[in-house]
Structure 1
Amino acid sequence: MALDHTASGVYVIAPTPFHDDGRVDEASTDRMTDFFMEAGATGITVLGVMGEAPKLDQAEALSIATRMIKRASIPIVVGVSAPGFAAMRALARGSMDAGAAGVMIAPPNTLRTDDQIVTYYRQAVEAIGADVPFVLQDYPLLFQVQMTPGVIKRIVTDNPSCVMLKAEDWPGLEKISTLRAWQAEGSLRPISILCGNGGLFIDFEVERGADGAMTGYAFPDMLVEVVGKLQAGQRDSAHDLFDAHLPLIRYEQQFGLGLAVRKYVMKRRGIIASDAQRKPGGMLSAKAVAEVEYLLGRLAQHDPRAKV
C-alpha cells in the first residue's frame, strides 16, 4: 500500500491515547484504529502534530506506529519530523520496514529562505532514502515556514518521492488553485493534495481541487461523508452537514486547547478510554467542558452521532 499521487479521501490524524498516568494506552489505540476504519477513512496518519510525537521516545514512537500498521487494513502514514536527520531516518526506515505506506516531513522553524527550504527537503530525502514516499507538510501557522507555490513546485520537481502535499496554509485556497493550474498545464507533475486545519476549510478546499483531508477532528466520520458528497457533486448537502459541525470545529481550533477538546469528545464517543495528554499538557476546565457539552447538544439536533 505504498503512498502515491492518487491518494484521496480522508487520512485521519490519530491522537496518541494515554492512560491517566501518562502510559500509552494500547487497548484504546486498537479501538481507535478500528473506529477510523469503520468510519470510512482511506488512511491514517500517526505521530503528527496532534499525536504528541515530541513527548514520545524513539522506541515508543516506533512501537505505536508499528502497532497501528499491523492492525489497520488501510494505508498508514507516519510523521517522522525530527530535529536531526539520524532520528528521522531511524523512524522512517523502521516504519517502512513495518509496512507503512509513507512518511510525513514538516520543516523545522529555522528555515527562512526559499533555497533553505528546498535544500532541507533534498537532504531529508537523502537521509531517509529516495525509495520512501513522503508527504510535504505546509503548516506556516505552526512551523513559521512560508512555502510559496513556487517552492512547493521546486520540492516536488526535485524529489520524485514527494507524492503528497498536506496543505494547511491559512488562507490557502489560492495556493491549491495555483498548484492545480500548473498541473493542468503540465508544468507540475500530479501530486495528491490533502488538507489540514482540523477540516476548517475542507468544504471549499475540495472544490478548489484538493483530494480530501488529512486532519483530525472528533467526528472524522463526518469528514468522510462531506468529502464523499463533494466528490459526488452533492454540494448543498455537503455544506449543510459541514455547517452543522462548524461551531465545534471552530472551538477545536483554539491553539493550546484543540487536542484537549478532541480527546474529550473522542472519550465521550467511546473511542478512547481517557482524554489525558502526556505532560506537559492540560485538561479542559469545568467551564470549557460545559461549553463543549453545549456544542454537542446543539450538534445532536442535526447529526445523531453527537448524541454521546
Structure 2
Amino acid sequence: MSQRTPAYTGVVPPIVTPMDANGEIDTASLERLVDFLVDAGVTGIFALGSSGESAYLTEAQRDTVLDVIVGAVSGRVPVLAGCIETTTHRALDRARSAAARGADALVATAPFYTRTHPSEIDRHFREIAARTELPLLAYDVPVSVHSKLDADQLLALAADGVIAGVKDSSGDDPGFRDLVIGARELPEFSVLTGHEAVVDAMMLMGADGVVPGLGNVDPAGYVRLLQACEKGDWAAAREEQERLIRLFRIVRAVEPGTAGGSTAGVGAFKCALALLGVIDDATPALPMRPFTEVETGRVRAVLEEVGLL
C-alpha cells in the first residue's frame, strides 16, 4: 500500500454567496466570509457549489463571485471552482473562466437534465480534464443531478489521472467505503465527504477531509473535529460532531410545507451568518425566499444553544 499524499484534505467549506435585498452579489460580505473561514483554519474553499447557489446565478454573477473569492483568499488556501453545468461544453466554458480568474482546481458533476449513460459520464470527465490544465474533482450529488457516480468508475478515472479527487454527497456509505479502499492504491487521490453530520465516522473510515455546508456557519468547529480525528482522539471527535449535529438543526427551522430543501439549507446557513454578523443580509436567490421572523428566531435559539451566540 502506498503512503497517501492527497492534495486536498481537511475542511473545505462550500462557501455561500451573500446577496443584497435586490438579489445582487454582496461583495463586501463575501470578502468578510472568506476571511471568517480562512481565519478559522479551513484548508480550502469550494466556490460556486450547491451551497453557493451556483445553479441560480447568472454567468456574470458567477464570474463576480469567483473574482471576489480568489482576490480575498489571496493564495492563503486553494480555491476549488464549481463548473456545474448540464453538458460538457457548458462545463468547459466555466472551467476556462475559472482558470482565467485564478482558481486552483475545478469541480464538476455528471451532466444533468440530459439523460446520460455511464459511458457518456465517463467521457464528460475525460473531456473536461483533457481540455483544461487545472486539477479536476468529481462531485457526486445524485439528489441534484439524478446520476450516481459509481465507485469503480471514479477509481478508474483517478487511476488514469483524469480526476484528482471526489466530493461525495451521495449518502451511499458503502459506496464511499469502496472509494476509500480503492484510494489506498492512489496516493494523490482525495476522498472528501460531504456528509457533514457523520464526519467522525467518515474520517475513521479513511476519508481525507470534509466539504461541509454547515462549515460556513461554524468553520472552527469542523476544524476542531478534523484535528481530533487526525490525533485519533475519537471521544473528542464524537463530542464535537454531536455539537455540530445540534447546530445542524437550523436546517429544520423553515416552516414545513412552505419552502424547498434548498431554502431550508442555504437559507438557514445565510440566516445564521447574518445573525453572527458575518454577512449583512440573509437573502437567497430567487425563487427561494428569506427566512421569516419566526424562522430566524428558531435559528437564533440553536446558535445560542451551541454557544455561537
Asked if TM exceeds 0.5, the reply is yes
The residue correspondences of 1:13-162 to structure 2 (distance < 5 A) are 13-72=14-73, 73-109=76-112, 110-126=114-130, 128-129=131-132, 131-158=133-160, 160-162=161-163
What's the CA shift for 1:70? 1.8
CA distance in 1, matches of 2:101, 2:153: 32
Partner of 1:279: 286
Task: Tell me the alpha carbon deviations over residues 91-150 of structure 1, each in whole angstroms, 9 at most, x when there is no partner.
Answer: 212222332110100112345543232122223334x42x22011001122222122211
Q: Determine if contact 1:17/1:25 at 8 Å carries over to the other structure.
A: yes
1:294 equivalent to 2:289? Answer no
CA distance in 2, matches of 1:25, 1:277: 11
Q: Determine if contact 1:65/1:95 at 8 Å carries over to the other structure.
A: yes
What's the CA shift for 1:57? 1.9
Partner of 2:219: 220
83 and 113 in structure 1: CA distance in 2 versus 1, 3 angstrom threshold: closer
Task: Tell me the alpha carbon deviations over residues 135-181 of structure 1, each in whole angstroms, 9 at most, x when there is no partner.
Answer: 100112222212221121222233x1411110112132x22322232
CA distance in 1, matches of 2:36, 2:187: 34
What's the CA shift for 1:251? 4.2
Tell me which amino acid in the other structure corresponds to 1:154: A
Which of structure 1's runs of 4+ aligned residues deviate more than 6 A? Answer: none
SS at match of 1:77: strand
Partner of 2:255: none
CA distance in 2, matches of 1:179, 1:91: 27
CA distance in 1, matches of 2:95, 2:149: 23
What's the CA shift for 1:37? 0.7
CA distance in 1, matches of 2:135, 2:128: 12
What TM-score, normalized by structure 2, do the two folds share? 0.87
18 and 183 in structure 1: CA distance in 2 versus 1, 3 angstrom threshold: closer
81 and 117 in structure 1: CA distance in 2 versus 1, 3 angstrom threshold: same
Q: Determine if contact 1:176/1:208 at 8 Å carries over to the other structure.
A: no
- Candidates 231, 255, 273, aligned match of 2:261: 255
CA distance in 1, matches of 2:68, 2:129: 25
Partner of 1:211: 208
Tell me which amino acid in the other structure corresponds to 2:282: D
Which shifted more, 34-43 or 55-64? Answer: 55-64
Q: Determine if contact 1:141/1:170 at 8 Å carries over to the other structure.
A: no
Tell me which amino acid in the other structure corresponds to 2:179: L
What's the CA shift for 1:58? 1.7
What's the CA shift for 1:78? 0.6
CA distance in 2, matches of 1:147, 1:80: 16
Partner of 2:257: none
CA distance in 1, matches of 2:273, 2:222: 15
Q: Determine if contact 2:126/2:162 at 8 Å carries over to the other structure.
A: no
SS at match of 2:261: coil
What's the CA shift for 1:195? 1.3
Tell me which amino acid in the other structure corresponds to 2:149: M
Q: What is the number of residues matched between the two proteins?
A: 292
Task: Tell me the alpha carbon deviations over residues 256-278 of structure 1, each in whole angstroms, 9 at most, x when there is no partner.
Answer: 31111110001111111100012
SS at match of 1:297: helix
Partner of 1:181: 181
CA distance in 2, matches of 1:294, 1:268: 11
Partner of 2:256: none
Task: Tell me the alpha carbon deviations over residues 198-250 of structure 1, each in whole angstroms, 9 at most, x when there is no partner.
Answer: x1221111111111111221212211110111011111011111102212314
The sequence identity of aligned pairs, in percent, is 21
CA distance in 2, matches of 1:43, 1:122: 24
155 and 161 in structure 1: CA distance in 2 versus 1, 3 angstrom threshold: closer
Root-mean-square deviation (Å): 2.0
Structure 1 stretches lacking a partner, 5+ long: 301-305
107 and 11 in structure 1: CA distance in 2 versus 1, 3 angstrom threshold: same
Structure 2 stretches lacking a partner, 5+ long: 253-259
CA distance in 2, matches of 1:290, 1:63: 32
CA distance in 2, matches of 1:65, 1:239: 35
